Amino acid sequence: MLKRFVLTFLLLTPTITISGGLTDKSKSFVENLGKEVVEKVSDVNISDNQRQQNFEKLYLSTFDNYYISRFVLGRYWRTIDKSIQKQFVKSFNKYIVATYAPKFKGWEGTFKATDSLFENNYYNVKMDIENKDGPTLKMMWKMYLNKNKEFKVLDVNIDGVSMLVTQRAEFLSVIKNNPNGVKGLIAEMEKKSAGS
């Protein structure tokens, strides 16, 4: 009995150690991402075009854009062919960049990861964002470790509100009220990205 217990403990110990190390790394990951946003996107001395390019690079390298695109389209994802799916992912990426990059212009604040919990193969990292001239925001980053041992963000929860769920509700409303359905949503995203 004792031998079995010791063997079980020895088998489990590396897993616990590795998981613990990765939870710390997950906290560092989101903090470093926050610092990069401040350095490469918030800077008022760069052009708006450069700001968007920097934001896009950060977004594509850290977020699972394909998963997010499928999620926000909900049940409609399976109703469109692969060419429209590819078009949607591309348009959605441009839409995200056009929507969020300008919001960071001149933003000043700090990102502090306060905790990380590994659960059901996902890392949930709690973070406080302290605005220089505003209230502190409570965030939760949901992410996973891919085959290349890189963290990929799936969702960002701000003060209890999931950005993915919010975006999906908005998109489903547009699809429902647009006679062209998903193609109509893509057209709307393209307009937004073009600044019209």
Contacts of 159-165 spanning 24+ positions with Cβ under 8 A: 164/68, 164/71, 164/72
CATH class in words for 2-193 = alpha beta
Give the model confidence (pLDDT) of 70-129 as tens digits.
Answer: 999 999 999 999 999 999 999 999 999 999 999 999 988 888 999 999 999 999 999 998
Question: CA separation (Å) from 139 to 11, 79, 174, 194?
Answer: 34, 33, 27, 30
Question: 129 near 34, Cβ under 8 Å?
Answer: yes
Q: SS3 of 121, please? A: coil
Residue 100 CA to residue 195 CA, distance in Å, equals 13
Residue 51 has pLDDT above 80, yes or no: yes
Q: Sort 155 into a burial class: Cβ within 10 Å, 0-12 / 13-18 / 19+.
A: buried
Q: Return the pLDDT at 130.
A: 87
Q: What angle do CA 85, 90, 92 make, to 5 degrees?
A: 90
